[in-house]
Structure 1
Amino acid sequence: MQRVRVSSYQAPVLKLGDSQMTLSPKFRLAAKQSALLDPSLDMELCLKGESLIPGLPDDIALNCLLRVPVDNHTTCRAVCKRWHSLFGSKEQFFTRRKELGFRDPWLFVFAFHKCTGKIQWQVLDLIHFAWHTIPTMPCKDKVCPHGFRCVSIPKDGVLFVCGGVVSDMDFPLNLILKYEVRKNRWTVMKKMITARSYFASGVIDGMIYVAGGNSTDLFELNSAEVLDPSIGSWHPIASMETNMITYDAAVLNGKLFVTEGWFWPFYVVPRGQIYDPKTDNWENMAAGLREGWTGSSVVIDGHFFVVSEHERTKLKVYDMESDSWETVEGPPLPEQICKPFTVNCFDSRIFVVGRNLHVAVGHIFMKYQTSTSEERGSFSVQWLVVDAPETLSDLTPSSAQVLLA
C-alpha cells in the first residue's frame, strides 16, 4: 500500500479556479468586471497577431494551456491579455476543454462539519490530488446530510442533490439542486412529486430514478418517480412491492438495485428490490445478493463490488450466476480511512472517502484462472492513500460523486 501527501506542509483548500497566490479584493473585483472575458475580444487579439504562446500555432498552444491545473489559473491570468481571457472564465475554459475532448476526473465530496453540522462540498482533483471548493449549495443550513441522495452524470460534468430532511424537525424535502462544473454554479430544479429522505437513487440512460424513503409523516414509502434532466420534469413510475428506507442503491445492467441495508440483528433478513425501466416493474432481489450486501457498492465494467463494513472492511465482488460473493485479493481498506465513509468509482479505480476526508484509491486488477471445466476471472486490489490537509480534519463525508471536466 502506498501513501501520498499532497505537500510537505498543510496547504489551504482552494476555491475552484483560484491559485495559492493571495490577491487583494480590489484585484478580484477588477477581474470579475473585466471585458477580457468576452470571447469576441480574444478573437480580436488573435487577428492582431497576439499569439497564445510565441512560436507555436494557436491550436497547439491551446492544447497545452487547457492542461494547466485549475489552481494555477489566477497566476496564468497575469501573463498576457489572451491568457487573461482564457483563464479568466471557468465556463469558457471548461467549455474549450470539452470541445477538444479533455476529460479529467474530479471527486466531489458532500461533507459536513462534525461539530456544527454545516454542509459543504469539497473537490479533489484526481490528477494532481489538490483540494478545491465550489459555491455554497443553496440549501437550508440545518439539515441532515445523510438524508440527501446525490447522483451524477459524469460525462456531462453534472451532479444532482435530491430530497433531504430538515434536521430539527425531521421534515423531508422535495427539492432538487443541480451543479454544473462548466458553469461552476448551482441551479434549483423542479421539485420531486413526493418529499422524501433516506431513499434510493440512480441514473439509467441519463434519467434519474428515486424510490422509497421516509415521507413527511415519517412512514416508509414505496412510491418511485423519474426525472428527465433535459426537460426538468418528474413523473411517477411503478411502486416498489414493499415500503422501504434505503441504505444503498446501484445501477447494474440497466436496472436499479435497492437494499434497505443490514443495521439490525442478523436474524432479520434484509429486503431488496430491483427495478427494470424497460418493463416498469419491480422484482425481489436474489437472497445471496441482499444478504451479502454489507457495505457501500460500486459497479466497474459490469461487475458489482462492495466495500464491506464487516469482514475486516475487505472488498468483495458479486457473482450473479452463483448468487454468491467472493473476497477480492489484496489488503483490507487502509486503517487511515475511518468510518463513516462513502464510495464511488471511475474506470478501474474505487475511491473511498473516510472521516477527515482522507481518500483511499483502490486500483482493481482482473486476472483469469483456468480450471478443468471453465475459465473464470478473479480480482485483486491495491490501495493508495491520499491524505487530506489539516483544514479538512473536522469534516465527515456523506456522498462522493465523480465528474469529468
Structure 2
Amino acid sequence: MVGEFNRRDNIMFSRNLSPLRISSAGKFNLFTPPSSPASYPSSPLLTPSSSAVDLASSPSCSSCPSTPFSCNISTPATFVTQLSFHEPLIPGLPDDLALECLLRVPYASQAVARAVCHRWKSFLCSDEYILARRNSGFAQPWLLVLAFHRVSGKIQWQAWDAAHRSWHIMAPMPCKERICPPGFGCVANLEEGALFVCGGMSSDMDCPMDAVLKYDLFRNQWTTMGSMSTPRSFFASGVIDGKIYAAGGNSTASHELSSAEVYDPVGDQWHPIASMGTNMARYDSAILSGKLYVTEGWSWPFLSSPRGQIYDPKADKWEDMTSGMREGWTGLSVVLNNHLYIISEHDSTKLKVFDKEGDIWKHVGGAPMPSHMALPFSVNTVGGKLVVVARSLHMAIGTITVSEEEGKPLSLVEWQPVPAPDAFSDFIPSHSVVLFV
C-alpha cells in the first residue's frame, strides 16, 4: 500500500485516506474513524501507556454495568416493528434479540460494525439506535479535552476512551476566527448526549462571540445552534435539568457583564434569567445540588475579597456566596459525590474539599499531585474518580477514600499518573467534559 507517513502523529494515510494506526509492535492496523459519512473525518493518535486506569470498570459509575448482560433493556415496540419489515439484522435471530446484541457493541468498535453491510451502517447511525444505546446502560465514558498548541495557538479537540485507554482526534471544530480557548463555555448535556461550546473570544479582535456549536460524539459531527442572546467570553456555564446556563463574563472592550441566560436544547433558544446584580467575569464555576456557583477569584493587588454568586434556577434568584467559600476558592473545582473539591493553583496544587458547616476549605490528605503534572489544569470526574489533565495532556487519576477519625470525616486521595503520547508535548488543556456513548 502506498501512503504518506506523518511522523508527528505516527499515522499513515493511504491514498484512499483510510488512517493506519501503528501498534507498539511496529505493525500497521487499519482503523476506520467512528463517524457517519456526513461527519468530519477523524483519526486516532497514539495509544497511551499501559499505566492508564480502566475507569469504565469502576462500580461507582452508574452508566457502566458490572456485567455485559446486567441491564434490562426496554426497547420501544415501534422501533422493533419498523425493523421487522426488512431483512433480519442478524440471520436466524428475531430483530429484538439482534438489537440487544448490537446495543452491546462498544463505541470504539462501531466503525467496524458499520462496515459489515449497508443495513448495519444505516441502522447503527439511526437516531433510534443511538437513543436506545444511550438508555441501555452499556454506554461507556469518554473524556473530551479542548487543547491548543502553545506555539501556533491552533485548537484541537481530543477524545480519551476511558474503557480502552486510547486517544482519538475529534472532527475539527468549525471556527473561522482565531480564538482564545479559555474564553469558551464548554458543557456536556447528558440528556442530549452532546457537547456544547458556547460564546468565546476572538483573539485577533479581542471581541466576544455569541456562537453555539453542538458536537455529537456518536456521529463525530458538529452542528451550529441558536446564538446566545449576548456575546460573552470567560463566563460561568453549567447544565441543570437538561438546560444550559450562562452568566456574567466579558463583553466588548473587556467590560464585565451582570446578565445571565438559559438555553433550551429542545427549542434551540436562549432566554434571559435574573441578573447577577454585579458585573463579574468567571474565574471558576460549578454545579452543586442543582445550583450554579460562580466566583471571580482573587486578582492583583489583592486589595479586596473576591466576589461570588449562587444561582437557584427554581427560584430564578441569585444570592451571595459565603465568605469562606469565595475567599478559599483558589483553583479549578470539581464535584464528586455531592462534595465540592478544588485543586489549588497555589500551595503545591493540593486538593481541598469544602466544609459547608464550617464554611472552610480543608486539605485532603494523601500524596501530592504527581511531579510531571504542570499547570494549567482541566479537571473532571470519570467513574467516581478525579481526572486531572495537565500541560502536554499528561493525566493523573485521583481515588478518594473517606473514613472517620474521632467522629469526623477524613478524606485521602491517591494519585495514579497517566503519561500522554509524545505527540501531545506542545498542547495545553483548556476544558474537559465527559460524555457516554
The answer to whether TM tops 0.5 is yes
The SS at the match of 2:91 is: coil
Letter in 2 for 1:258: V
- Equivalents in 1 of 2:96, 2:32: separation in Å? 33
CA 77–205 in structure 1, closer or farther in 2 if over 3 Å, else same: closer
- Equivalents in 2 of 1:229, 1:203: separation in Å? 11
CA 80–191 in structure 1, closer or farther in 2 if over 3 Å, else same: closer
2:4 maps to: none
Offset from partner CA, 1:26-66 (integer Å, 9 cap, x none): xx98xx9xxxxxx988974428x7258xxxx8767765654
- Equivalents in 2 of 1:379, 1:64: separation in Å? 42
The SS at the match of 2:400 is: strand
In the comparison of the two structures, how many residue pairs are matched? 374
2:170 maps to: 134
Matched, 1:220 2:261: no
Offset from partner CA, 1:90-148 (integer Å, 9 cap, x none): 86764452253212111000111112111121000111111112221122240111111
Match of 2:325 among 289, 294, 309: 289
1:50 maps to: 91
Offset from partner CA, 1:250-301 (integer Å, 9 cap, x none): 1112211111122423443111111122222222111111111010001112
Aligned pairs for 1:386-397 (under 5 A) are 386-397=418-429
Q: Is the 8 A contact 1:292 1:325 kept in 2?
A: yes
- With 261-270 and 234-243 compared, the bigger mean Cα shift is at 261-270
CA 402–169 in structure 1, closer or farther in 2 if over 3 Å, else same: same
Letter in 2 for 1:338: A
Offset from partner CA, 1:152-200 (integer Å, 9 cap, x none): 1235421111111110110100111111223332221111111111111
Aligned pairs for 1:284-363 (under 5 A) are 284-363=320-399
- Equivalents in 2 of 1:218, 1:75: separation in Å? 48
- Equivalents in 2 of 1:142, 1:241: separation in Å? 32
CA 41–66 in structure 1, closer or farther in 2 if over 3 Å, else same: closer
Letter in 2 for 1:395: F
CA 40–237 in structure 1, closer or farther in 2 if over 3 Å, else same: closer
- Equivalents in 1 of 2:20, 2:386: separation in Å? 28
The SS at the match of 2:88 is: helix
2:43 maps to: none
- Equivalents in 2 of 1:340, 1:247: separation in Å? 13
Match of 1:377 among 409, 416, 421: 409
**C-alpha displacement at 1:330, in angstroms?**
1.2
CA 79–284 in structure 1, closer or farther in 2 if over 3 Å, else same: closer
Aligned pairs for 1:65-84 (under 5 A) are 66-76=103-113
Letter in 2 for 1:168: D
CA 191–156 in structure 1, closer or farther in 2 if over 3 Å, else same: closer
The SS at the match of 2:252 is: coil
Letter in 2 for 1:404: F
Offset from partner CA, 1:201-233 (integer Å, 9 cap, x none): 111121211111111232111111111111111
Q: Is the 8 A contact 2:256 2:279 kept in 1?
A: yes
CA 24–340 in structure 1, closer or farther in 2 if over 3 Å, else same: closer
Q: Is the 8 A contact 2:159 2:169 kept in 1?
A: yes
- Equivalents in 1 of 2:209, 2:120: separation in Å? 44
The SS at the match of 1:46 is: coil
**C-alpha displacement at 1:306, in angstroms?**
0.4
Q: Is the 8 A contact 1:42 1:85 kept in 2?
A: no
- Equivalents in 1 of 2:358, 2:12: separation in Å? 47
**C-alpha displacement at 1:22, in angstroms?**
3.6
The SS at the match of 1:140 is: coil
Aligned pairs for 1:54-133 (under 5 A) are 66-76=103-113, 89=125, 94-133=130-169
Q: Is the 8 A contact 1:42 1:82 kept in 2?
A: no
Q: Is the 8 A contact 1:13 1:131 kept in 2?
A: no
2:46 maps to: none
**C-alpha displacement at 1:70, in angstroms?**
4.0
**C-alpha displacement at 1:239, in angstroms?**
1.3
* TM-score relative to the length of structure 1: 0.82
5+ long unaligned stretches in structure 2: 1-8, 22-28, 41-80
CA 208–265 in structure 1, closer or farther in 2 if over 3 Å, else same: same
2:237 maps to: 201
2:49 maps to: none
- Equivalents in 1 of 2:432, 2:31: separation in Å? 31
% identity of equivalent residues: 50
**C-alpha displacement at 1:392, in angstroms?**
2.1
CA 230–376 in structure 1, closer or farther in 2 if over 3 Å, else same: farther
CA 84–303 in structure 1, closer or farther in 2 if over 3 Å, else same: same
Q: Is the 8 A contact 1:248 1:259 kept in 2?
A: yes
Letter in 1 for 2:91: E
Aligned pairs for 1:171-250 (under 5 A) are 171-250=207-286
RMSD: 3.2
- Equivalents in 1 of 2:352, 2:250: separation in Å? 30
**C-alpha displacement at 1:150, in angstroms?**
0.5
**C-alpha displacement at 1:404, in angstroms?**
1.1
Q: Is the 8 A contact 2:190 2:242 kept in 1?
A: no
